[in-house]
Chains A and B, each alone.
Chain A
Amino acid sequence: MPKTKRRTAARKKAASFTGGCLCGAVRFRARGAPMYVSHCHCTMCRVASGAPVVTFAGFPSARVRFTKGKPKFYRSSKIARRALCGNCGSQLYFQFDRHPERMGMNVGCFDHPETLKPQRHIFTNTMIPWLKMKDGLPRELRGE
């Protein structure tokens, strides 16, 4: 393995992403590289956050640990629920009922969101027209 590749692999292995809500009542740590990082333009994510687009980083649930406090849950649809802070309302993660083994963490809650670089846009059929994000990332009309 070339030296640079080996170094990247080592860094990925050691990667640890910390974050929490605005008031600090809930804190978490996600270890390892994220499975995916996506900008979601669906109307539910938009209204849930109050922001025009929400970025999620997918992690295996086993690698996410809540180090302080516990989130509150809101059942946002028949197939999924959203975790938030009961004290300040920060959106923390999204989880499908049929995939309890993984969770989509809200990138805005991480202490260093710049370390979680998005790879694609999803649900671009409901993307707000004035959102001019020229990042060259692939766009999918729907999510998975």
Chain B
Amino acid sequence: MAMAKRTRKAKTTTKASRTRHPKTAGVHSGGCLCGAIRFTARGKPNHIGNCHCTQCRKATGAAFATFAGFESKDVTFGKGKPRYFRSSAWAARGFCPQCGTSLVYKLIEDSSKIWLAVGAMDKPERLAPKMHIFTTTMVKWLKFRDGLPRYKAFPAS
């Protein structure tokens, strides 16, 4: 998930999620497969997207990854801490060193935001994605018919 200027975007997404996806509000808990790491995110995610970039793919081992963005201050690690791997010049990825679950994507220069892996959530059905991003590298056999907008990168606005 490469970053573009997204100051205005964050505001509009929050508004949209409030009206269209009331279920996404509240407390979202999750953790890794072995249970060494547990986290809680409060409030509404400011972004939920299916990411088709090659890095998300390799990090998870899946054909694509779904991340939900929260304000860092709303996310707490109640048990354990992820280990971070510097996956690019601008970002780091957190995972469980014991079982390998992909948990976090965060930017080096903006620590106010954090993205959590939706597959690691206890109730992923509550965090429905709103878009597909980095679709130029989407695996060809993935056929979605979800009507979600598709972006070649992280949408600027």
Given the known interface contacts A128-B125, A135-B141, the answer about A85 and B62 at a Cβ–Cβ threshold of 8 Å is: no
Within 8 Å of chain B (Cβ to Cβ): is A132? yes
- CB of B87 within 8 A of CB of A88, answer yes
Contact-residue bracket for chain B = 35 or more
Interface string of B35-73 (1 = CB under 8 A from A): 000000000000000100001011111111110000000
Interface residues of A in 91-144 (CB under 8 A from B): 91-92, 106-109, 113-114, 117-118, 128-130, 132-135
Residue of B whose beta carbon sits closest to that of A40: B62
How many CB-defined contacts (below 8 Å) exist between A and B? 151
With an 8 Å Cβ cutoff, the count of chain A residues facing the other chain is: 44
Shortest CB distance A109–B (Å): 5
Q: Give the chain B neighbours of A21 by CB distance below 8 A.
A: 58
Q: Give the chain A neighbours of B128 by CB distance below 8 A.
A: 130
Q: Give the chain A neighbours of B119 by CB distance below 8 A.
A: 46-47, 49-52
Residue of B whose beta carbon sits closest to that of A20: B58
- CB of A108 within 8 A of CB of B145, answer no
Residue of B whose beta carbon sits closest to that of A86: B97
- CB of B101 within 8 A of CB of A48, answer yes
- The answer, among A39, A55, A130, for a CB contact under 8 Å with B125, is A130
- The answer, among A50, A72, A74, A134, for a CB contact under 8 Å with B120, is A50
Within 8 Å of chain A (Cβ to Cβ): is B90? no
- CB of A82 within 8 A of CB of B99, answer yes
Instruction: Enumerate chain B interface residues (CB-CB to A < 8 A).
Output: 31-34, 50, 55, 57-66, 83, 85, 87, 93, 95-103, 117-120, 124-125, 128-129, 139-146
